[in-house]
Copies of this chain bind each other. A is one copy, B any other.
Amino acid sequence: MATIKDVAERANVSISTVSRVVNGTATVAAAKRDKVLQVMAELKYQPNSAARALAGNKTGMLGIVANDLADPFFATLLKGVETEARQAGMQVLAACGHHDAEQEEAAIRSLLSRRCDALIVHSKDIPDQQLLDLLSECPVAVVVNREIPEIADRCIWFDNLAAGYMATKHLLAQGHQNIAWLGRNQNITDNVDRYIGFCNALGQAGIDHNKAYKAFGEATVEGGYQLAYELIRSKSEVTAIMAYNDAMAAGCLRALHELNYKLPDDCSVMGIDDVILGLVVYPQLTTVNYPVEDIGRTAVKKALALLADQQLEMTNHFSPKVVIRGSVASLRKSVLRKSGS
């Protein structure tokens, strides 16, 4: 591939002049500029980013650590990040943690090694202190979906507790009392917080959450399916299911269909996340919106502001919002229907 030197020689100018034309860092005589531009095209010149990074001490790359790129949740986060980064002329370098502490660390290290100008980190498996330690090597790092007190101003998170609370409140408002919790069998903060929100709402309604129906499994469509299938067969008095996330809720819906439940009247189902899955199931899922794409964009904005040393004040805390669709019915209606059949 052609280098800046090749271009300079062919255009009879110095490499500085070529550099100026490429970067627009200073004015160049029109004739020379045109000649350079022409030669660049002829030679299909593409500046070497490695050399640029080395000389200029910035790479123009934004690193992002996610868990699993195929998961709609991370894919959406990534999209938000990419959109915003591209607008700022930066490239996104993605590395996967695969829900594993060691791989998460390796992912961060490789991004560090690439000298990304900034890092957006989604990590659940590395302990706070170790993460802080790793990130201390990075000029700018923003943490998403996690709150670390020491760097609270560089954390962007979603209020999972409020999400669990609001979702459950919504179910209670529809008259449901026998509400089951379909949880995730993994103690990450998301899960714990949503569950606490669930318990709080129940407690406030005078329902003892210890007596609430609960089942725990994998946070996937399949996990939700299996859990719901078992639960409903043994506890037919349950009139509403609060799932940890939309994937589980979708599995849940499928199980109920298979058990010939008429939805949503025979049983209401509520999710949290608001991913695309909720739009394709029938009935469409009533859920709580988790603005992932927005979070991704905000994380990048924050990172860019930090890079530019602007103290740009912005929310780093996103609140949930209930999205009403078709999977939750009021209990009254359900009961009427049941007694009628």
A residues lining the B interface (CB < 8 Å)? 1, 44, 46-51, 53-54, 59, 68-72, 75-76, 78-79, 82, 86, 91-96, 109-110, 112-115, 137, 221, 250-251, 253-254, 257, 276-277, 279-284, 293
Q: What residue in chain B is nearest A47 (Cβ atoms)?
A: B113
A-B contact pairs, 8 of them (CB 8 A): A1-B115, A46-B109, A51-B54, A69-B82, A70-B75, A82-B94, A82-B96, A91-B110
Q: Which residues of B contact A51 (CB under 8 A)?
A: 50, 54
Which of B48, B82, B137 contacts A113, CB < 8 Å? Answer: B48
**Smallest beta-carbon distance A244→chain B, Å:** 16
Flag if A221 contacts B69 (CB, 8 Å): no
A70→B277 CA distance, assembly (Å): 13
Besides A70-B76, A92-B94, A282-B282, 9 more A-B contacts (Cβ < 8 Å) are A50-B115, A68-B79, A72-B75, A91-B95, A93-B93, A251-B280, A254-B282, A280-B280, A281-B282
Known interface pairs A50-B115, A69-B79; A1-B282 also in contact (CB < 8 Å): no
Write the chain B residue with the least CB distance to A48.
B115
Which residues on B sit within 8 Å (CB–CB) of A53? 50
Residues of B within 8 A of A250 (CB): 280
Residue in chain B with minimal CB distance to A63 = B91
Provide the residues of chain B in CB contact with A70, threshold 8 Å. 72, 75-76, 78-79, 293
Compute how far the CA of A116 lies from the CA of B182 in the bound complex, rounded to whole angstroms.
Answer: 44
A46 in complex: contacting residue of B68, B79, B113, CB < 8 Å: B113
Residues of B within 8 A of A221 (CB): 276, 279-280
What is the CA–CA distance of A91 and B109 in the complex, to the nearest angstrom? 12
Question: Chain B residues with Cβ under 8 A from A78's Cβ?
Answer: 69-70, 94
CB < 8 Å: which of B50, B75, B254, B276 contacts A69? B75
In the complex, chain B residues whose CB is within 8 Å of the CB of A251: 280
Cβ–Cβ < 8 Å partners of A96 in chain B: 82, 86
Q: Which B residues are CB-close (under 8 A) to A281? A: 280-282
- Residues of B contacting A91 in the complex (Cβ-Cβ under 8 angstroms): 93, 95, 110, 114
How long is the Cα–Cα vector from A54 to B284 in the complex, in angstroms? 53
Beta-carbon nearest neighbor of A258 in chain B: B282
In the bound assembly, the distance between CA atoms of A137 and B45 in angstroms comes to 9
| Cα-based distance from A132 to B51 in the complex (angstroms) | 26
Instruction: Considering the complex, give the chain B residue whose CB is closest to the CB of A249.
Output: B280
Query: Whole-angstrom distance between the alpha carbons of A96 and B279 in the complex?
Result: 25
* Bound CA span A124–B123, Å: 34
- Give Cα A1 to B53, complex, Å: 14
Minimum CB–CB distance from A132 to chain B (whole Å) comes to 13
Give complex CA distance A59, B91 in Å.
15
Contact A50 B54 (CB under 8 A): yes
The CA of A253 and the CA of B280, in the complex, are separated in Å by 8
Q: A94-B94, A254-B282, A280-B277 are in contact. Are A48 and B44 (CB under 8 A)?
A: no
Residues of B within 8 A of A69 (CB): 69, 75, 78-79, 82
Give A149 Cβ to nearest chain B Cβ, in Å: 22
A79 to B78: give the CA distance in the assembly, Å. Answer: 13
Q: Which residue of B lies closest to A134 (CB)?
A: B44
Q: Is the CB–CB distance between A254 and B54 below 8 Å?
A: no
